[in-house]
Amino acid sequence: MEIVESVITEMGLGDCKHTVVGGWFSCGLSGGEKRRVSIALEILTQPSLLFMDEPTSGLDSASVIMSIHQPSSEVFEQFDNLCLLSQGALVYFGVAMEASMFFDSAGFPCPLRRNPSDHYLRVINSDFDNVQNKFKEDIETQEIVPASEAIKVLTNAFQNLHLRSLHTKVDILCVTKVNLLNSLMNDPDAGVLHQLSTLTRRSFIIMTRDIGYYRLRIFVYFMLSIVIGSIYFNVGTKYNSIAARIGCMAFIGKFLTFMSIGGFPSFIEEIKVFNHEKQNGYYGLIVFTLSNTLSSIPYILHISLI
């Protein structure tokens, strides 16, 4: 729970941690809060590598006129490492704050008062036909070169820069991988019983909050029981009453079967969450099936009594 509370605080979800995410029948979190929740779920597993494709997309509201993907200078300063790719080649991979010195040494210094990320993208983006190259040997000399040539110069410079330290980094990564595997083996996953109890509690809460899962059907069954009771009240004990009772039981059986379809939309949404969490290795199919069955027993008993 300490890890959960820490992630909630880091993702800025403290004010809405008791708020329903939202679905078909209820409003809940905003688009940005939902996106942060999805990121927080991945952080909870403490992965060694977390890949996020445009995590800032969808964080804007409907009133935004224009949004951009390029990070601002303030956001860029928060990056630890930077990887630049262009035309299938690795242009730079290393400390983000050292990228400016790398481009400067290769002959493409970042101009004053320009966002570094914009400068890097402009140099390595082949959509720009020409870029300005200023060689260090002659500060006054400026040459306009094609973007493809600039990419080639940067690629060669990066290869020469990191070729000597490549073996050392590989050895460090191998040691890190071994330590990571050992830590994972010493840190077992949650037990089956713990997974089952947690998923059962979550599934029960979902069924309680979602009006379309069982609550609406219970109300319909209650009203139907009043109607059927009024129609077949005091049907008697004669021979004709046997056919009436058979018709009543057949109608109730068919109606119960038909109304079970009403829970499909909510169940489909739950299946989507299950598929995502199963791919991440949170739990298995058997645990999910058992938890869903156990959480539905109180509602099924309630419906049977009605």
Residue 177 · residue 262 · CB < 8 Å: no
Give the per-residue pLDDT at 122.
Answer: 79
Which band of pLDDT confidence, cut at 50, 70 and 90, is reported for residue 250? confident
Regarding pTM above 0.75, the answer is no
Give the per-residue pLDDT at 63.
Answer: 38
Q: What is the pLDDT of residues 54-107, one digit of tens each?
A: 666 555 443 333 334 567 777 777 778 888 877 777 888 888 888 888 888 888
Q: How many CB atoms lie within 10 A of CB 20?
A: 14
- At residue 72, φ and ψ (nearest 5 deg) are -75, 170
The C-alpha angle with vertex 161 and arms to 160 and 166, in degrees rounded to 5, equals 90
Give me the chain's average pLDDT, please.
75
Q: Which secondary-structure segment (H or E) carries 135? A: none
> Which residue has better confidence, 46 or 69?
46
Residue given tokens 């400016």 in the structure block? 100
